[in-house]
Amino acid sequence: MKAVVFDVDGTLAETERDGHRVAFNEALAAHGVDLHWDVARYRELLTITGGRPRLAADLRRHGVDDADEVAARVHRTKTELFVDVVRRGVIAPRPGVPELVDDLRAHGVRIAIATTGRRAWVEPLVRHLVGDVEVTVCGDDVAALKPDPETYLLALSRLGLDAARVVAVEDSGPGLAAARAAGLATVVVTNDDTVHHDVRGAALVREAFDRPAPLTAADLADALTGARA
């Protein structure tokens, strides 16, 4: 195992429910759009990858004719709001994430990021959560979002590594599909929003990084070995 590529939202931190969802609702209100996402509805919408496509899809469902244009405007405001939250440093990593990253670094494993999020908030959030990483691929860098494998393929290209030496860490079904399509053995650590996702095909599935025992570099290496056997 030469590198581990982490997803961000829901994987490194619980950003969706109390971060992105709140920022979206504030942005919708600021633009006078009569739409509000409660926790249950937002959880349903998480099957759509990417904030702007997610918003556009729900706007179309509510009969908004220029859904893509409205979604673009609202999403810009939402990103500004979320960047402010990130820069205040109020989002904490999921328990066990810093310890896993420290263990990987202690074993000389390279760390990368592959996310559909916008670079404006991804980079400061990742620095806050786990420090500097070698490669960061964001939604800004690709034409197709997860479950398309483009983010992972670009991360592999920038790392200069073959997929057979790299493990992906994800939290969701779409993320798993993207990583596997890029040829990566994938460890899925679910959360409250993704616990019911179809994660068949994952090399290892956990509900937490720190329970029932801490997830370690050795666990990820074993998952890679098992996936390649």
- Give the H/E segment covering residue 167: strand 166-170
84 is catalytic: no
Beginning with the edge strand found earlier in the chain, give each strand of the sheet holding 204-206 in spatial order: 135-137, 110-114, 3-6, 166-170, 185-189, 204-206
CB of 93 within 8 A of CB of 105?
Answer: no
Compute φ and ψ for 95, nearest 5 degrees.
-55, 130
Cα distance between residue 188 and residue 186, in whole Å = 6
Q: Which two tokens stand for residue 79?
A: 């990103």
Note if 7 is an active site residue: yes
- Is residue 7 within 8 A of residue 46, CB to CB? The reply is no
Q: 143 in the Ramachandran plot: left (φ > 0), alpha (ψ -120 to 50) or beta?
A: alpha
Set 7, 58, 148, 193: catalytic member: 7
In the set 9, 58, 171, 193, the catalytic residue is: 9
Catalytic residue annotation = 7, 9
